[in-house]
Amino acid sequence: MRKKIINIILDNNREFISGEEISKQLGISRSAVWKHIKSLKEEGYNIESINKKGYRLKEKPKDLLSSQNIAHELNTKFLGKSIFHFETIDSTNTYAKKIASEEVDGTVVISEEQTLGRGRLGRIWDSKAYEGIWMSIILKPNILPYRTPFLTIIAGASIANALNNLGVSVGIKWPNDIILNGKKLCGILTELSAEIERVNYIVLGIGMNVKNLNFPNEIENIATSLCKEGYDLSRVDIVREILCELEKNYLEFIKNENREKIIDTYKKYSVVLGKNIFVIKNDDRELVECVDINIDGNLIVKKSNGAIKEVMSGEVSVRGENGY
């Protein structure tokens, strides 16, 4: 019911709407409306109440990632139809994995803060309160497990498109870093639960720095946020845009098997294509030229002796010749 009330108030574009009108629209008593408004105010919605005029949203709600805010005007078919929102949590990926078997395809877990945010290979992901988007999406595709790495490619292309739609020109550093002005803006952590021939679920974790002005010393030189680069965007708008782009590309892959289109988009944003890069495996680093990204999302590189080699994600990391 609170969701419906907040939708009516959000739809009313900061004009007053009477308690009577809301109670009529929802078929509940005026005192029930008043009680819901009271708890919405406690949640942080700045709702003004004036006698005989009714209620109106005084200013845009704090950019909270609540399910009401995200669901309002979210034009997806299944992504984000169920949203779990937390003020704080250890890791949204960890939580999503716990609930994945029982929850529906497309469920989103999102938190204002993570206390144990995880990167790949046991690395830490810095996830301060209200500064970024820390979210995990549960997907249950009917595909063979060996095809799931392509979902990271889909996620990268979708996030880059989403930011581009909002006026931010980003690049993708293969396989899964979204780069802004040469620094890491966003990372993707894809986790899989599968049997030999069947995917149980995939948890697609996305961490994006939005409002951060400072980073811990260890990552200060490699990390950036939208705010630091001069973009003042709402986290809620970004989440909605990502979910729309992701759903479009995901369905293109699952239903139409259309990998070419996604790879073309991915390549358009690639910051390694055509460049000299270091391919790093454990303590070995080899300077190669990146000549292509193939239909599986793997790098095609040319070694110094002219030999062509395919490099798969998961087994290496890459660095630009001149820094990150």
Peptide bond between residue 175 and the one before it cis (omega within 30 degrees of 0): yes
**Among 182-190, 263-271, 288-296, 298-306, which window interacts with ligand BTX (CB under 6 A)?**
182-190
Check: CB of residue 194 under 8 Å from CB of residue 200: yes
How far apart are CB 55 and ligand BTX at their closest, in Å? Answer: 35
Q: Is 136 in the site for ligand BTX (CB under 6 A)?
A: yes
298: contact with ligand BTX by CB under 6 A: no
Of the two residues 85 and 118, which places its CB atom closer to ligand BTX in the complex? 118
- The yes or no reply on residue 113 touching ligand BTX (CB under 6 A) is no
Q: Does 107 bind ligand BTX (CB under 6 A)?
A: no
Q: Counting contacts by CB under 6 A, is residue 118 touching ligand BTX?
A: yes
CB 240 to ligand BTX: min, Å: 17
Residues in the chain: 324
56 binds ligand BTX (CB under 6 A): no
- Residue 288, amino acid: V
The answer to whether residue 153 forms part of the interface with ligand BTX (CB under 6 A) is no
Q: Does 175 bind ligand BTX (CB under 6 A)?
A: no
Of 206 and 293, which has the nearer Cβ to ligand BTX? 206
User: 59: which residues sit within 8 A by CB, 6+ positions away?
Assistant: 46
125 touches ligand BTX by CB under 6 A: yes
Give the span between the Cα atoms of 176 and 171, in whole angstroms: 10
Confirm or reject binding of residue 100 to ligand BTX (CB under 6 A).
no
Residue placing its CB nearer to ligand BTX in the complex, 33 or 92: 92
Tell whether residue 80 is a contact of ligand BTX (CB under 6 A).
no
- Stated as kind and residue range, the H or E segment containing 235 is helix 235-256
Alpha-helical runs (H) found in 149-305: 150-165, 235-256, 259-269
How many Å apart are CA 244 and CA 162, to the nearest integer? 8
Closest to 249 (Cα-Cα) out of 165, 318, 156, 174: 156
Dihedral angle over CA of 238, 241, 245, 251, nearest 10: 110
At 192 the three-state DSSP class reads strand
Nearer residue to ligand BTX within complex by CB, 4 or 285: 285
- Considering only 9, 170, 180, 223, the residue that binds ligand BTX (CB under 6 A) is 223
CB distance 35 to 5 below 8 Å: no
What residue ranges bind ligand BTX (CB under 6 A)?
91-93, 114, 117-120, 123-127, 134-136, 184, 187-189, 205-207, 209, 219, 223
